[in-house]
Protein backbone atom coordinates (compact mmCIF):
# COMPACT_ATOMS: atom_id res chain seq x y z
CA UNK A 1 0.00 0.00 0.00
CA UNK A 2 1.60 3.26 -1.12
CA UNK A 3 1.72 6.48 0.88
CA UNK A 4 -1.05 8.21 -1.09
CA UNK A 5 -3.49 5.38 -0.41
CA UNK A 6 -2.51 5.39 3.27
CA UNK A 7 -3.25 9.11 3.40
CA UNK A 8 -6.81 8.70 2.18
CA UNK A 9 -7.42 5.57 4.26
CA UNK A 10 -6.42 7.48 7.40
CA UNK A 11 -8.54 10.49 6.35
CA UNK A 12 -11.71 8.49 5.66
CA UNK A 13 -11.20 6.42 8.80
CA UNK A 14 -10.94 9.70 10.74
CA UNK A 15 -14.20 10.89 9.17
CA UNK A 16 -15.91 7.65 10.21
CA UNK A 17 -14.64 8.02 13.79
CA UNK A 18 -15.73 11.65 14.01
CA UNK A 19 -19.22 10.84 12.74
CA UNK A 20 -19.39 8.01 15.27
CA UNK A 21 -18.38 10.46 17.99
CA UNK A 22 -21.12 12.85 16.86
CA UNK A 23 -23.74 10.09 17.07
CA UNK A 24 -22.64 9.18 20.59
CA UNK A 25 -22.41 12.87 21.52
CA UNK A 26 -26.01 13.57 20.51
CA UNK A 27 -27.14 10.25 21.94
CA UNK A 28 -25.68 10.96 25.38
CA UNK A 29 -27.89 14.05 25.63
CA UNK A 30 -31.11 12.10 24.99
CA UNK A 31 -30.18 8.68 26.40
CA UNK A 32 -27.02 8.87 28.53
CA UNK A 33 -27.46 5.31 29.75
CA UNK A 34 -27.17 3.92 26.21
CA UNK A 35 -24.82 6.50 24.66
CA UNK A 36 -22.09 7.35 27.13
CA UNK A 37 -20.02 10.49 26.64
CA UNK A 38 -16.78 8.60 27.17
CA UNK A 39 -17.43 6.62 23.99
CA UNK A 40 -17.97 9.87 22.11
CA UNK A 41 -14.64 11.11 23.42
CA UNK A 42 -12.90 7.85 22.55
CA UNK A 43 -14.18 8.05 18.98
CA UNK A 44 -13.21 11.73 18.76
CA UNK A 45 -9.74 10.88 20.07
CA UNK A 46 -9.39 8.14 17.46
CA UNK A 47 -10.50 10.56 14.74
CA UNK A 48 -7.96 13.12 15.94
CA UNK A 49 -5.18 10.50 15.93
CA UNK A 50 -6.08 9.37 12.40
CA UNK A 51 -6.17 12.95 11.12
CA UNK A 52 -2.75 13.47 12.70
CA UNK A 53 -1.52 10.41 10.80
CA UNK A 54 -3.04 11.82 7.58
CA UNK A 55 -1.16 15.11 7.97
CA UNK A 56 2.12 13.41 8.90
CA UNK A 57 1.88 11.12 5.87
CA UNK A 58 1.09 13.97 3.50
CA UNK A 59 3.76 16.20 5.05
CA UNK A 60 6.30 13.41 4.55
CA UNK A 61 5.17 13.00 0.93
CA UNK A 62 5.21 16.65 -0.12
CA UNK A 63 7.87 18.04 2.20
CA UNK A 64 5.90 20.94 3.70
CA UNK A 65 2.93 21.56 5.99
CA UNK A 66 -0.04 20.43 3.83
CA UNK A 67 -2.46 23.34 4.22
CA UNK A 68 -2.13 24.84 0.74
CA UNK A 69 -5.55 23.99 -0.70
CA UNK A 70 -9.08 24.23 0.68
CA UNK A 71 -9.38 20.50 1.42
CA UNK A 72 -6.15 20.46 3.43
CA UNK A 73 -7.02 23.70 5.21
CA UNK A 74 -10.48 22.48 6.18
CA UNK A 75 -9.03 19.17 7.37
CA UNK A 76 -6.50 21.05 9.47
CA UNK A 77 -9.30 23.16 10.95
CA UNK A 78 -11.18 19.96 11.86
CA UNK A 79 -7.99 18.59 13.42
CA UNK A 80 -7.55 21.79 15.47
CA UNK A 81 -11.17 21.82 16.70
CA UNK A 82 -10.90 18.17 17.73
CA UNK A 83 -7.69 18.96 19.61
CA UNK A 84 -9.15 21.91 21.50
CA UNK A 85 -12.34 19.96 22.25
CA UNK A 86 -10.41 17.03 23.71
CA UNK A 87 -8.31 19.36 25.87
CA UNK A 88 -11.35 21.32 27.11
CA UNK A 89 -13.30 18.13 27.80
CA UNK A 90 -10.35 16.68 29.72
CA UNK A 91 -9.90 19.83 31.83
CA UNK A 92 -13.52 20.92 32.32
CA UNK A 93 -15.25 17.51 32.21
CA UNK A 94 -18.45 18.69 30.50
CA UNK A 95 -19.99 15.57 28.90
CA UNK A 96 -22.81 17.44 27.15
CA UNK A 97 -20.31 19.62 25.28
CA UNK A 98 -19.91 16.64 22.95
CA UNK A 99 -23.62 16.85 22.08
CA UNK A 100 -23.20 20.29 20.54
CA UNK A 101 -19.65 20.46 19.23
CA UNK A 102 -19.06 16.99 17.77
CA UNK A 103 -21.98 17.32 15.30
CA UNK A 104 -20.44 20.62 14.12
CA UNK A 105 -17.13 18.85 13.53
CA UNK A 106 -18.98 16.07 11.68
CA UNK A 107 -20.63 18.61 9.36
CA UNK A 108 -17.25 20.11 8.51
CA UNK A 109 -15.91 16.62 7.70
CA UNK A 110 -18.82 16.20 5.27
CA UNK A 111 -17.69 19.33 3.42
CA UNK A 112 -14.11 18.05 3.44
CA UNK A 113 -15.22 14.74 1.90
CA UNK A 114 -17.01 16.60 -0.91
CA UNK A 115 -13.91 18.65 -1.82
CA UNK A 116 -11.28 15.99 -1.12
CA UNK A 117 -8.19 16.32 -3.31
CA UNK A 118 -4.55 15.41 -3.45
CA UNK A 119 -1.66 17.81 -2.90
CA UNK A 120 -1.00 20.27 -5.69
CA UNK A 121 1.90 22.45 -6.70
CA UNK A 122 2.89 25.06 -4.17
CA UNK A 123 4.65 28.40 -4.26
CA UNK A 124 8.10 27.97 -2.64
CA UNK A 125 7.37 31.08 -0.57
CA UNK A 126 4.81 29.04 1.37
CA UNK A 127 7.60 26.82 2.66
CA UNK A 128 8.35 29.33 5.37
CA UNK A 129 8.36 29.17 9.15
CA UNK A 130 6.35 32.42 9.13
CA UNK A 131 3.62 30.76 7.05
CA UNK A 132 3.54 27.79 9.42
CA UNK A 133 3.24 30.07 12.44
CA UNK A 134 0.47 32.07 10.76
CA UNK A 135 -1.51 28.92 9.95
CA UNK A 136 -1.06 27.20 13.31
CA UNK A 137 -1.96 30.26 15.41
CA UNK A 138 -4.93 31.07 13.15
CA UNK A 139 -6.42 27.59 13.22
CA UNK A 140 -5.96 27.03 16.94
CA UNK A 141 -7.62 30.42 17.43
CA UNK A 142 -10.47 29.40 15.12
CA UNK A 143 -10.80 26.13 17.03
CA UNK A 144 -11.22 27.88 20.38
CA UNK A 145 -13.88 30.08 18.79
CA UNK A 146 -15.70 26.93 17.59
CA UNK A 147 -15.80 25.55 21.13
CA UNK A 148 -16.90 28.97 22.44
CA UNK A 149 -19.69 28.89 19.85
CA UNK A 150 -20.90 25.53 21.18
CA UNK A 151 -20.77 26.85 24.76
CA UNK A 152 -22.79 29.91 23.70
CA UNK A 153 -25.50 27.75 22.09
CA UNK A 154 -25.64 25.63 25.25
CA UNK A 155 -25.91 28.78 27.38
CA UNK A 156 -28.88 30.12 25.39
CA UNK A 157 -30.68 26.77 25.48
CA UNK A 158 -30.10 26.39 29.20
CA UNK A 159 -31.26 29.94 29.83
CA UNK A 160 -34.41 29.36 27.81
CA UNK A 161 -35.16 26.12 29.62
CA UNK A 162 -34.67 27.65 33.05
CA UNK A 163 -37.26 30.28 32.17
CA UNK A 164 -39.69 27.62 30.96
CA UNK A 165 -42.03 25.74 33.27
CA UNK A 166 -41.06 22.53 31.47
CA UNK A 167 -37.34 22.94 32.08
CA UNK A 168 -37.06 19.83 34.24
CA UNK A 169 -38.87 17.70 31.65
CA UNK A 170 -36.41 18.64 28.92
CA UNK A 171 -33.17 16.90 28.00
CA UNK A 172 -31.48 20.27 28.39
CA UNK A 173 -31.64 20.02 32.17
CA UNK A 174 -28.48 17.92 31.76
CA UNK A 175 -26.56 20.97 30.56
CA UNK A 176 -24.06 22.69 32.89
CA UNK A 177 -25.13 25.75 34.85
CA UNK A 178 -25.27 29.16 33.22
CA UNK A 179 -22.33 30.26 35.36
CA UNK A 180 -20.16 27.37 34.19
CA UNK A 181 -21.01 27.95 30.53
CA UNK A 182 -20.47 31.71 30.77
CA UNK A 183 -17.09 31.17 32.43
CA UNK A 184 -16.07 28.63 29.77
CA UNK A 185 -17.00 31.09 27.05
CA UNK A 186 -14.87 33.76 28.68
CA UNK A 187 -11.87 31.46 29.07
CA UNK A 188 -12.05 30.37 25.44
CA UNK A 189 -12.33 33.92 24.11
CA UNK A 190 -9.46 35.00 26.37
CA UNK A 191 -7.34 32.23 24.87
CA UNK A 192 -8.48 32.42 21.25
CA UNK A 193 -8.37 36.16 20.68
CA UNK A 194 -4.63 36.61 21.45
CA UNK A 195 -3.82 33.58 19.25
CA UNK A 196 -5.90 35.00 16.42
CA UNK A 197 -4.27 38.41 16.86
CA UNK A 198 -0.77 36.91 16.68
CA UNK A 199 -1.79 34.95 13.56
CA UNK A 200 -2.94 38.15 11.84
CA UNK A 201 0.18 40.06 12.86
CA UNK A 202 2.47 37.28 11.63
CA UNK A 203 0.44 36.98 8.41
CA UNK A 204 0.69 40.70 7.69
CA UNK A 205 4.42 40.76 8.36
CA UNK A 206 5.04 37.65 6.28
CA UNK A 207 2.84 38.84 3.37
CA UNK A 208 4.63 42.19 3.32
CA UNK A 209 8.07 40.62 3.49
CA UNK A 210 7.51 37.79 1.00
CA UNK A 211 5.19 39.77 -1.32
CA UNK A 212 3.35 36.50 -2.00
CA UNK A 213 -0.06 38.21 -1.92
CA UNK A 214 1.01 41.11 -4.11
CA UNK A 215 0.58 44.85 -3.49
CA UNK A 216 -3.24 44.71 -3.37
CA UNK A 217 -3.49 42.20 -0.53
CA UNK A 218 -5.45 44.61 1.76
CA UNK A 219 -8.34 44.41 -0.77
CA UNK A 220 -8.47 40.61 -0.70
CA UNK A 221 -12.00 39.53 0.44
CA UNK A 222 -10.47 37.05 2.89
CA UNK A 223 -8.31 39.79 4.40
CA UNK A 224 -11.29 42.17 4.67
CA UNK A 225 -13.53 39.63 6.39
CA UNK A 226 -10.68 38.49 8.62
CA UNK A 227 -10.44 42.10 9.79
CA UNK A 228 -14.18 42.21 10.50
CA UNK A 229 -13.96 38.93 12.38
CA UNK A 230 -11.04 40.24 14.42
CA UNK A 231 -13.03 43.36 15.36
CA UNK A 232 -15.94 41.22 16.57
CA UNK A 233 -13.69 39.11 18.77
CA UNK A 234 -11.83 42.21 19.95
CA UNK A 235 -15.20 43.59 21.07
CA UNK A 236 -15.98 40.31 22.85
CA UNK A 237 -12.57 40.24 24.51
CA UNK A 238 -12.83 43.81 25.80
CA UNK A 239 -16.47 43.44 26.83
CA UNK A 240 -15.32 40.56 29.01
CA UNK A 241 -12.22 42.38 30.20
CA UNK A 242 -14.15 45.48 31.24
CA UNK A 243 -17.19 43.52 32.49
CA UNK A 244 -19.46 45.62 30.27
CA UNK A 245 -21.81 42.71 29.58
CA UNK A 246 -22.14 38.99 30.07
CA UNK A 247 -24.64 36.20 29.63
CA UNK A 248 -27.19 36.41 26.83
CA UNK A 249 -25.67 39.34 24.91
CA UNK A 250 -22.20 37.83 24.99
CA UNK A 251 -23.58 34.46 23.85
CA UNK A 252 -25.34 36.07 20.89
CA UNK A 253 -22.21 37.98 19.89
CA UNK A 254 -20.14 34.79 20.18
CA UNK A 255 -22.47 33.03 17.75
CA UNK A 256 -22.46 35.94 15.29
CA UNK A 257 -18.66 36.16 15.42
CA UNK A 258 -18.29 32.44 14.67
CA UNK A 259 -20.61 32.78 11.67
CA UNK A 260 -18.08 35.31 10.35
CA UNK A 261 -15.27 32.82 11.05
CA UNK A 262 -17.01 30.20 8.90
CA UNK A 263 -17.80 32.68 6.13
CA UNK A 264 -14.25 34.05 6.16
CA UNK A 265 -12.87 30.54 5.93
CA UNK A 266 -15.29 28.97 3.44
CA UNK A 267 -17.44 31.71 1.93
CA UNK A 268 -14.96 34.32 0.75
CA UNK A 269 -13.60 31.96 -1.90
CA UNK A 270 -16.86 32.53 -3.81
CA UNK A 271 -16.49 36.31 -3.80
CA UNK A 272 -14.23 38.28 -6.13
CA UNK A 273 -10.94 36.47 -6.66
CA UNK A 274 -8.08 37.60 -4.50
CA UNK A 275 -4.48 36.77 -3.68
CA UNK A 276 -5.54 33.85 -1.45
CA UNK A 277 -6.43 31.84 -4.58
CA UNK A 278 -3.69 29.36 -3.74
CA UNK A 279 -6.08 28.01 -1.09
CA UNK A 280 -8.72 27.04 -3.68
Q: What per-residue confidence (pLDDT) applies to 223? A: 81
C-beta separation of 44 from 81 below 8 A: no
CA distances from 139 to 79, 214, 218, 262 (A): 9, 23, 21, 12
Q: What is the pLDDT of residues 208-248, one digit of tens each?
A: 776 666 666 666 778 888 889 999 999 999 887 777 767 88
Mean pLDDT across 25-50: 88
- DSSP-derived secondary structure for 26-82: HHHHH-TTTS-HHHHHHHHHHHHHHHHHHHHHHHHHHSS-S-SSHHHHHHHHHHHHH
pLDDT value, residue 104: 93
Band of pLDDT at residue 275, cut at 50, 70 and 90 = very low
pTM, two decimals, is 0.89
Q: Nearest Cα to 26, choosing from 167, 172, 155?
A: 172
Arithmetic mean of pLDDT, 68-74: 87
Q: Is 29's pLDDT higher than 60? A: yes
135-178 confidence digits (pLDDT tens): 899 999 999 999 999 999 999 988 888 777 655 556 777 788 88
Averaged pLDDT, 86-112 = 92
Amino acid sequence: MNVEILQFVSFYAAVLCLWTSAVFGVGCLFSPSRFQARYANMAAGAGFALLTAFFLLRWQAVGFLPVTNMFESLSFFIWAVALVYLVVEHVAALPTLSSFLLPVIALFTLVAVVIVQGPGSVDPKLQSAWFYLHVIFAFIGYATFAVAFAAAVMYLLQRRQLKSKKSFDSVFHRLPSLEVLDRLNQQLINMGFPLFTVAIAVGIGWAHRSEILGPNWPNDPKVVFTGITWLLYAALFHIRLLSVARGKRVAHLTIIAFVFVVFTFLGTRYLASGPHEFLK
